[in-house]
A and B are shown apart, each in its own frame.
Chain A
């Protein structure tokens, strides 16, 4: 298959866009599409200080790479979860993240040495990014698997404890360090897996809140954005491979066999038979949401300041994070 733009061998065929591209033109397409999404959904501008949540995976490292190449002031936040059994997953994830930032991968215009030298000056970041690391065990005394075993929230699977902890740390650190936006690497497959689950259960409140942008609607909440929300998972993986980004191939051991991956498998089967089904599902949802289809379910909660850490919480007293981690004084 040939690249539609130059006739060279294509590396990706996006059947839902009826578009096949070579490596060079695919990189350009990803950059342009990301910038378009940032603009369309009013995510942020080049004056904003953006904090990218990085896990060592293809999505978050590719997002960081793209934002830097587009000239955004994007730092990274890695949260050390202490998930190192049966495989050293967290340690390996941090290694990949450090390798990306220390190796200056983001400062390289293209992974293709054969391209026209005059083009390499395009999309080279002038901003030097900082990687911020929060090690959960060092900060709070236990790893995620340990706190999950000790608490009701994490019994059976630590994903709930992990999610609560990551959301808390990301929000708090972003605010404390003066970032105006928190960006995550959620791709379209991530989004529609959640959308599918919430639709199956008619979780209207969750449907009302699912969006590419969550505004900082209250004091104590940072604006959250998903610039990759329109890219298929195979597209972010292709970008990482063509850029030579070393990312962690293994899934989190606690995510293997989970419901989200099962829904992704089902939706991929649908996509194979009906190209564009995934994109249509998501974009039509966003259209309906934009027209107010779920507005009546978007109930505004009264928020209180946690008596320990000051972060927003739905009930007076200690927030869910401080209760789970038995935090009795601010750390």
Chain B
């Protein structure tokens, strides 16, 4: 647990990470492939080089989803 940690949501799971690391590093830390997710920070779509700050709410969106045609 961290003070004012960064909250990360992926599918239905919650993760926490320390602040001041890039989203790309955070994605790797929780065992995901940066190529397979999009990063939404505080409701805004961002590139994964963004540095996550204390209190940020991060949602990772899986790029593989939906139906098949």
- A residues at B contact (CB < 8 Å): 1, 9-13, 20, 23, 53-60, 93, 166, 184-186, 189-190, 233-234, 237-238, 241-242, 247-252, 255, 261, 264-265, 268-269, 271-272
- Name which of A23, A247, A272 has the most chain B CB atoms within 10 A of its CB: A272
B36 → A minimal CB distance (Å): 5
A23 touches B45 (CB 8 A): yes
The size class of the interface chain B forms with chain A is 20 to 34
- B residues at A contact (CB < 8 Å): 33-36, 38, 40, 44-50, 61-69
Shortest Cβ-Cβ A-B pairs, 9 listed: A57-B66, A55-B67, A268-B35, A53-B69, A57-B67, A11-B45, A234-B63, A1-B47, A13-B47
B69 touches A185 (CB 8 A): yes
Known: A57-B67, A59-B66, A255-B68. A241 touches B49 (CB 8 A): no
A127-B45 Cα distance, complex, nearest whole Å: 30
B36 touches A268 (CB 8 A): yes
List, in ascending order, chain A residues with CB within 8 A of B46's CB: 9-11
A234-B36 Cα distance, complex, nearest whole Å: 7
A13 touches B48 (CB 8 A): yes
List, in ascending order, chain A residues with CB within 8 A of B67's CB: 55-57, 60, 93, 248, 252
List, in ascending order, chain A residues with CB within 8 A of B35's CB: 234, 268-269, 271-272
B66 touches A241 (CB 8 A): no
From B34, B47, B64, contact of A233 by CB (8 A): B64
B69 touches A233 (CB 8 A): no
A269-B38 Cα distance, complex, nearest whole Å: 15
A9-B40 Cα distance, complex, nearest whole Å: 13
